[in-house]
Every structure is written in C-alpha cells, then in structure tokens.
Chain A
C-alpha cells in the first residue's frame, strides 16, 4: 500500500460525539501545531444540538499557509461509533485511521488501502480514572497524546498549553498531562512513529509565515474587541448561533475593561432583548441618542430586523449590525456556514433602501472593520452591516496580530452641539449643506432653543417638518442616494493582487476572479493552482458595498470574471450586475452552498469546467481574443 506522505501538509479529521468535551482536546491539538509555527486551520463542524449527535473537527496543516478548507481526509481520528462507517469511507486511499479498539473493529469497517491504529481509549481511561466524567473527558486527551507521537508534535508545547488552560488548577493539569503521556507512550510503544505525514518546525513552512507574529483567534472575538475599541457602549441582542459569541466576548471584555475605576459602575450596557426586533429597536434608540450601539445576529434575526433597518436608513440613524451568516431558514442548517444574506442585507427593508455592507476575510479584519463600522455609521448616519459568517466567526484562524493606533479618534460625524448650533447660520436636519448628501444632526438635550426636531421615516421636508409632498419625498430619497455615492469614498477599497506569472498560458482570455469574506482564502489558493496549470487569473477581493469604482474597471478589463461565493443564487454576482450595469454573461458564478466552507479544489474544478464550456460565448463577444 502506498501511504500518504507529507511534511506540514495534510488534513486530519476528528469524529466525535457532541457534548463529550472533544472540542477543547481538538483545539489543544490544533493550537500545539500553531505554536510550532506551522500554519494550521481548524474547523468545527457541529450539529444544532447540545449533546449526543455526531460532530467533526477538521485540522488542515499547510506549509504554504493556505487556510481555506481543503476537503479530503488524510487521517481520521474516530471516537464516534455512530458515524464510523461513513468516517472510514471518507479517508483517502493511503490514509490513516485511529480508533478506539476497546471493542474490536467490525469486519465491514476494514479497508485494505488505509492504515489502522487501534488505541484502547475507553479501556485505558476506565482503568486509570474512577470518576465517570473524567473517564469521558480524558479519553479525548489520550488520543491527542497518541497523535502527538504519530505526527511528531512537540510534547512540551502540549504540556505548556495545558498549564495555560488550567492555570491555578494543579490537579486538572496533572490529570490532563497524565492522559497525554498515556496516549503518547502507548503510540510510541505500539506503532511505528512518526508517520509519513508529520510536522516539522521550520521545515518547508513559507518564509512569510515564519517571519510573522501570527495569532490564532476567531472572528467573533475579534469583532467584539472591535466593538470595545470602537467605543460601543450599548449592545442589544437576542441569542442566535453563530453570532452569540460576539456579544458573549463583548461582555467578557467589557467587564474587564469598561468598569469606571472610581465608582465600579459600568461604562457600557448590554441588554438581552426579547427578540431581534427589540434588539434592533434598542440599537436605533441608542444611536439616535448619540451612543455607539450595535447588535449581532444571523439570518433569521436579520429578517426580523429588516423593518427597523429601513427606518434607520430613512431616519438616518447610525446603527452597527454584525451579521454572522449561516444557512437559512430558522429550521435550516443553523450551524452550517454560508454567505447567503448578501441581498437581504444590501437591500434590507421595504421601500428604496440600500445598506452599507463590510466584508471581513480574517479576524484581523473583523476587528478593524468593526471599529470602522462605528465611524462609518456616524459619518454616514446610516446602518452599517458587517457580513461575517460562521466559518470566520466561530473557527480559529491564523491571523496577523490586532493592531491599535493610540492616536485613533472616534469620528462622530456631522453632529452639531450647542456651540455648533449657535454658530450655524441656518440649520435644518435634512439640509444638504455640503452637497455630499450627509446633513448635520443634533442630539436630544443639546441646546435649550435650537436643534430640536421630530425624527420620522420619510414624510418630511428638509427642515424636518412633516410633509407628504411628492417633491419633498423625491428630494429626500435622491439625497439619500447621493449619500450612498459619497459612501464609496469612505468604505474600505477592494484589494487586488498582482497576477501570478504563468509560463505557458493555456488561454487567450483575460480571466479574473472576484470574491469576499471566507471565500478569499480558498480563492487565492485556487488561483495559485490554476496558475500552475496555465491559467493566469487576476483577483479582486471586495471589501464593501457600495462598490468602489475600481470594481467596474476591473470587470471591464477582463473577458471573463468568476464570482466566487457561498450561496445558491450567486447573490454577489446579482448585486454587481444590478449596481454596476454589467452584462450577465461576463460574470460566471463559482459556488458552494452545502453548508461546509468552499474549498480550493471545488473552485479549481468549477473554473476549469466553465472554461471548457464558456469560451465559445466569450469568443463571440470579444472577437479580437479568438
């Protein structure tokens, strides 16, 4: 049998039962690899359930630093009898399978093209520990110990991580280390360690990664820190996976960093609302009254917030919403990742509305963009929606460290205080004095005589007086559109990368790819693979809506543009077609909407397929390239 080989390049998958404490053991495994300085991307693939259903944890190790999901399994660690048949079948030929052999493996689970490692996890733990909870929990740590021997993980790093994790709880540290050692020793004595797939510090790891000081963190925690640093004071929310941990983390940091030293009171307020309508209502109320306020939700919550998002758009109230996308609807696959709220968010609410969207691709960007979202919301006096997703929000990503410029000043936008009102020649809430569509707002309580106005939806004139006149309405919504144009200069510009040099080009078409958020990592990886195969593809990563002018030009400059995203309907493609007057034929969707993150392999396959079938159309559109 030819075994799979690879130094710092492989995929390990853990098959566990939900609620058995496997997640923290698997995290320990991934974090140890990260501490060895080797690029790693762990992914929790979990059911919408608290206990008892199958759950998986994928760990991709990539010397080049590819962080997207790879697909395929080189080694499976299976401690869930429920899913074992499927798990055995999913291992690539030449791969490895570690299992609990306390009970012998059923005949039908035996393959002759993979290598089995039986470790009597249950038996060992029954023998060593008498507390049933420990017996279950430490089983996970035993297999991490065995994996450390098989893959050559530095043992001292694992021990350090356990000491960090259980700081101050010496008994827990020693029982965990004991379990680790038991697994390690068993594997060393029983198997031929290490395997042909293994880790090596330094080794072939890409130099740009060796030189950097990466951190390992999830996007939701980063967004929460962004809210702290961005000066958010009011958070109103309703629990929903995968956004819950944004507010959980905000609460945790706020309790540490936002307590008034003199009084011990809180420089923040968090309200768990009765539903998402109320959560958004509270954010609107706080934003209207001059506090930086935000909420976090996912698809179903976005739907419920839609009416308020419309009001905030027309009433021009700053609002920050962090949408951690998942598969819809409520009873859909709530713990699976997608990028499928694009259109619902971009045009959220009835009437003519367009919302400002941000698309972070890394935890670092989740942090930066959340901070920026608070500035944008106040500068533009409108909702700003940060479009994260489950994959980015809940999984740990290797990311450049978070950075903070102590000279940062919150930009509260055009707000007139008492002095400002006194020195203003003429003030009307909706007078476009500067011609950029952004008017001057005032806050309740600011001035005894001036600046009070009645906030309402759209029935008003420039002086904020009630009006149902068609002319006033048109003037107002046209100004809002002007404001949306202005927003193009405020939001983060797209990122382009210099094309990869291709020696022998197999196509005469000028190809490009557009993508955003978590589609970016696998897209960059796919572009490198395709360059190797003779297809040079220029890339642009979209970071915000409204789209930057560069986007039109970029599309214009190419014959065929792939739009890579994670939903069924090519929502970003539709949004681009709609907003940029692009002929549909020019934009080809590359999609994955199965609930698991898109892979480079899927992108490569779809692009090659479409190049086979699409070139004829393109030739007819661009005769000069034939």
Chain B
C-alpha cells in the first residue's frame, strides 16, 4: 500500500483529516437524466467518503449494469472502478475483496441488477458476509432499458405506460435481514441528512453492509400512481435521522441523551440514531423485520439504520485469510519449491 502525502490547499476550502477537499472525491460529469435520484446518491457517497477521510485511491467501486450501475463513474475519480456484467457484481466484488482485504469496497447496483438477474448472487453475497458497502439505487423500474417494471415495483404501482403491477414487490431490506446481513439500512436519495451518515457507517462496518435507497427515476417512474415517485416517497417516509462519528474524531455527542442512541461499530466509530417516536432497537433482527413489515402494511417506508450487528464474522475471518493481501504475496509465500515437489513425485511411484 502507499500513503497520502500532505497537500497544500486553498485555506478557504474545507479539508478533511487527510487534507483533501470534497473536490478530490469528484468523478466525471453525470450523464444521467437531470433530476435522477441516482445523482443524489452519488453526491452522498462522495461526501461520505470525504467526511470519513478515506483516501480515494484506497476505495474500489464496483457495479453491475443499469443507470444505477453507471453511477461509480460520477464519483471518486481517483478510485479504481469496475462496471461488470448485469447482476453479477456481487461475485466480482467477492473476488476483488479476497485479492486485497485492505481496500474499502463500495458496490452500486440497481433494483433490476440486484432483485432480478442478480438475486442469486446478492443472497449469496449476504450469506458470505463479504466486507463491503452495497448500495441499491431502487427506482422500481429498469431505467436503462426504458422503464419496464422491476421486481421491487410495489403491488398496484402504475407504470409510465399505464399498466398496474399485479405482483407483490420484493423488499430487499427485509430479504437482507432475513438472510442474516450484519448491517441493513434504508434511505431515500433525497434525504442527504440521513443517507450520508448511513453510507459512512456502512463503509466503517467490517462486513456486508446493505443500504436500500429509494431513488426515483424521473423519466420512467415519477408520475401519479407510481409508488416510487418523489412525492409518494416523501409523503410516506418514516424517517429516523442519523449521525455518524468516525473513530478518529473525538466522540462527544451533542444530541440529547434522551433522544439519541449511540451504536459503536467494530472499528470504534459510533453511529447515532435520533429516535423520533418509536423505541427502535438496532440490535434486534426480528423486531427490525416486524417494524419494516408493519410500516409497509401502513403504506409507509421505514428508513434509517434498521439493523446492526457490529461483530458479525466476515468472509475474510471465516476463511482465516492471512493478514497480508493475497495480491501482494510473492514466490516465497506461495511456491513450495523443488524439494517438496520431489517428495510428491516420490509418493507417486
């Protein structure tokens, strides 16, 4: 690995602990439709990385295929990225994280990419607990192929073409909870206050961290009758505001103790939940599933940090992977040499 050299910056631009400004986390200009929810998520990821002062080059961005999967081009231009194949980013991310356990991995996917073609890989990614933040930009449709219903479209939601969806939608957050994900969050692309700390916490979590982000598609799924339009989503949001304090900062909370709850992550960072009304407990998987379901029954979307187990065993730990990244190992570590081979030959005679 290499280290960041201190930089001189214009004193007026706020810098993070590494001396970077938010511009250092810029990507290319977005080519998504103006107003697309995905662009807000890109901005939130960019800001989250800046605030958490992660060196851009130590982040790898991976995605599948779709408008949402194009997003990694539009943030963190100094990070490597991989736009892989439709629905298969989970496997690529798994392999990448095995090769180098030291980087921070951000996976970006869509609801089509994850809940349909990629469903198998998604579930197995959770099961393996790969150390990464996995963000689904969920617009209830296939943006890039022009607006077909996706598997997360809600029952009764009306498509741009006027048809009503007769199938119940797949709720990815519930699925992640059921499958044992150690970090499950949900948010809305328009809720920067909530989304940013959630992303920061997801990146700090030492295991699989899932965030389902409702992200309206202004072109194909933002009309009357769509349940994932801006107006619908805003009206039905059941939002728990969050705050995130990384390990490096002094942990002194300015929230009223009666209304906030601090959860310490594995790396020492703390995520603060601002409790609205409910007595939400983030450490109770079953309660989380019930809360999500209850909200759904009432036609509301429960957002915030839904569940967190800071001590879940991730894939690297389960495989007893060496501390040194596999991609840095050389002949000495890997090749047993001629003497060993000769003894193998002996055993085959």
Binding site for B on A (CB under 8 A): 35, 213-217, 225, 228-229, 231-234, 236, 257-258, 260, 263-271, 273-275, 277-291, 293, 307-308, 311, 315, 401-406, 408-410, 418, 442-449, 452-457, 465-466
Report 15 cross-chain contacts, Cβ distance below 8 Å, ordered by A residue.
A35-B349, A233-B326, A233-B334, A234-B95, A281-B85, A286-B98, A289-B60, A402-B341, A402-B345, A406-B337, A444-B60, A444-B79, A445-B60, A445-B102, A448-B78
- What is the number of contacts between chain A and chain B, taking CB atoms within 8 Å? 235
| CB-defined contacts of A232 to chain B, threshold 8 Å | 334
A268–B325 Cα gap in the complex (Å)? 10
Given A35-B349, A278-B121, A284-B92: A229 and B341 interface contact (C-beta under 8 Å): yes
A213–B345 Cα gap in the complex (Å)? 9
Would you call B84 and A281 a contact (CB within 8 A)? Answer: yes
| CB-defined contacts of B28 to chain A, threshold 8 Å | 465-466
B278 interface residue per 8 A CB criterion: no
The minimal Cβ–Cβ distance linking B233 to chain A, given in whole angstroms, is: 30
Would you call B331 and A267 a contact (CB within 8 A)? Answer: no
B320 interface residue per 8 A CB criterion: yes
Residue from the list B102, B120, B338, B341 in contact with A278, Cβ < 8 A: B120
Interface residues of B in 65-114 (CB under 8 A from A): 72-73, 77-85, 88, 90-100, 102-103
The minimal Cβ–Cβ distance linking A371 to chain B, given in whole angstroms, is: 9
Would you call A269 and B103 a contact (CB within 8 A)? Answer: no
Would you call B326 and A445 a contact (CB within 8 A)? Answer: no
Would you call B336 and A257 a contact (CB within 8 A)? Answer: yes
| CB-defined contacts of A231 to chain B, threshold 8 Å | 329-331, 334-335
| CB-defined contacts of A453 to chain B, threshold 8 Å | 80-81
A454–B60 Cα gap in the complex (Å)? 10
Given A234-B98, A286-B98, A466-B73: A410 and B331 interface contact (C-beta under 8 Å): yes
The minimal Cβ–Cβ distance linking A201 to chain B, given in whole angstroms, is: 15
Would you call A308 and B88 a contact (CB within 8 A)? Answer: yes
Would you call A290 and B99 a contact (CB within 8 A)? Answer: yes
Given A35-B349, A278-B120: A236 and B80 interface contact (C-beta under 8 Å): no
The minimal Cβ–Cβ distance linking B204 to chain A, given in whole angstroms, is: 18
| CB-defined contacts of B257 to chain A, threshold 8 Å | none
Residue of B nearest to A293 (CB): B95
A257–B331 Cα gap in the complex (Å)? 12
Would you call B320 and A265 a contact (CB within 8 A)? Answer: yes
A453–B28 Cα gap in the complex (Å)? 11
| CB-defined contacts of B342 to chain A, threshold 8 Å | 401
| CB-defined contacts of B338 to chain A, threshold 8 Å | 403-406
**11 additional A-B residue pairs with CB within 8 Å, beyond A267-B326, A445-B2:** A231-B334, A265-B320, A266-B321, A267-B334, A269-B319, A269-B321, A277-B88, A281-B91, A443-B327, A445-B57, A448-B3
| CB-defined contacts of A216 to chain B, threshold 8 Å | 348-349
| CB-defined contacts of B84 to chain A, threshold 8 Å | 281, 284-285, 311
| CB-defined contacts of B327 to chain A, threshold 8 Å | 233, 286, 289-291, 443
Would you call B95 and A289 a contact (CB within 8 A)? Answer: yes
Residue of B nearest to A232 (CB): B334
B333 interface residue per 8 A CB criterion: yes
The 9 closest A-B pairs by CB, nearest first: A281-B91, A285-B95, A291-B99, A282-B95, A444-B80, A290-B327, A286-B95, A289-B99, A285-B92
A108–B85 Cα gap in the complex (Å)? 62
| CB-defined contacts of B326 to chain A, threshold 8 Å | 233-234, 267-269, 286, 291
Would you call A228 and B322 a contact (CB within 8 A)? Answer: no
Would you call A265 and B333 a contact (CB within 8 A)? Answer: no
Residue of A nearest to B1 (CB): A445
Given A291-B100, A445-B1, A452-B57: A215 and B345 interface contact (C-beta under 8 Å): yes
A291–B91 Cα gap in the complex (Å)? 15
B9 interface residue per 8 A CB criterion: no
A340–B348 Cα gap in the complex (Å)? 30
Residue of B nearest to A283 (CB): B95
Would you call B120 and A274 a contact (CB within 8 A)? Answer: yes
A286–B90 Cα gap in the complex (Å)? 12
Residue of A nearest to B123 (CB): A274
Would you call B322 and A266 a contact (CB within 8 A)? Answer: yes
Residue of A nearest to B87 (CB): A277
A409–B330 Cα gap in the complex (Å)? 9
Would you call B331 and A408 a contact (CB within 8 A)? Answer: yes
Would you call B72 and A454 a contact (CB within 8 A)? Answer: yes
Residue of A nearest to B5 (CB): A448
Residue from the list A213, A215, A405, A444 in contact with B103, Cβ < 8 A: A444
Residue of B nearest to A289 (CB): B99
Given A229-B341, A233-B99, A282-B94: A418 and B2 interface contact (C-beta under 8 Å): yes
A265–B316 Cα gap in the complex (Å)? 10
Would you call A266 and B99 a contact (CB within 8 A)? Answer: no
Residue from the list B88, B96, B128 in contact with A288, Cβ < 8 A: B96
Given A274-B121, A278-B124, A282-B91: A291 and B58 interface contact (C-beta under 8 Å): no
B34 interface residue per 8 A CB criterion: no
Residue of B nearest to A418 (CB): B2
| CB-defined contacts of B321 to chain A, threshold 8 Å | 265-266, 269
Given A266-B320, A446-B2, A448-B2: A410 and B95 interface contact (C-beta under 8 Å): no
B13 interface residue per 8 A CB criterion: no
| CB-defined contacts of A307 to chain B, threshold 8 Å | 85, 88
Would you call B82 and A455 a contact (CB within 8 A)? Answer: yes
Residue of A nearest to B20 (CB): A448
| CB-defined contacts of A465 to chain B, threshold 8 Å | 28
Residue from the list B57, B93, B95, B333 in contact with A236, Cβ < 8 A: B95
A216–B335 Cα gap in the complex (Å)? 23
The minimal Cβ–Cβ distance linking B349 to chain A, given in whole angstroms, is: 6
The minimal Cβ–Cβ distance linking A52 to chain B, given in whole angstroms, is: 32
A274–B122 Cα gap in the complex (Å)? 10
| CB-defined contacts of A263 to chain B, threshold 8 Å | 322-323
Interface residues of B in 121-155 (CB under 8 A from A): 121, 124, 128
Residue from the list B78, B88, B333, B348 in contact with A452, Cβ < 8 A: B78
Given A274-B121, A311-B84, A448-B55: A282 and B98 interface contact (C-beta under 8 Å): yes
| CB-defined contacts of B62 to chain A, threshold 8 Å | 285
| CB-defined contacts of A213 to chain B, threshold 8 Å | 345, 349
Given A278-B91, A448-B2, A455-B80: A285 and B96 interface contact (C-beta under 8 Å): yes
Would you call B79 and A452 a contact (CB within 8 A)? Answer: yes
A278–B81 Cα gap in the complex (Å)? 19
The minimal Cβ–Cβ distance linking A313 to chain B, given in whole angstroms, is: 12
Residue of B nearest to A282 (CB): B95
A454–B59 Cα gap in the complex (Å)? 12
A448–B1 Cα gap in the complex (Å)? 10
Residue of B nearest to A443 (CB): B327
| CB-defined contacts of B333 to chain A, threshold 8 Å | 258, 260, 267
A273–B99 Cα gap in the complex (Å)? 16
Would you call B345 and A455 a contact (CB within 8 A)? Answer: no
| CB-defined contacts of B5 to chain A, threshold 8 Å | 448
Would you call B78 and A449 a contact (CB within 8 A)? Answer: yes
A453–B60 Cα gap in the complex (Å)? 10
The minimal Cβ–Cβ distance linking A171 to chain B, given in whole angstroms, is: 23
Would you call B98 and A269 a contact (CB within 8 A)? Answer: yes
A4–B264 Cα gap in the complex (Å)? 82
| CB-defined contacts of B78 to chain A, threshold 8 Å | 448-449, 452
The minimal Cβ–Cβ distance linking B49 to chain A, given in whole angstroms, is: 14
A331–B1 Cα gap in the complex (Å)? 48
Would you call B82 and A291 a contact (CB within 8 A)? Answer: no
| CB-defined contacts of B337 to chain A, threshold 8 Å | 404, 406
| CB-defined contacts of B56 to chain A, threshold 8 Å | 448, 452
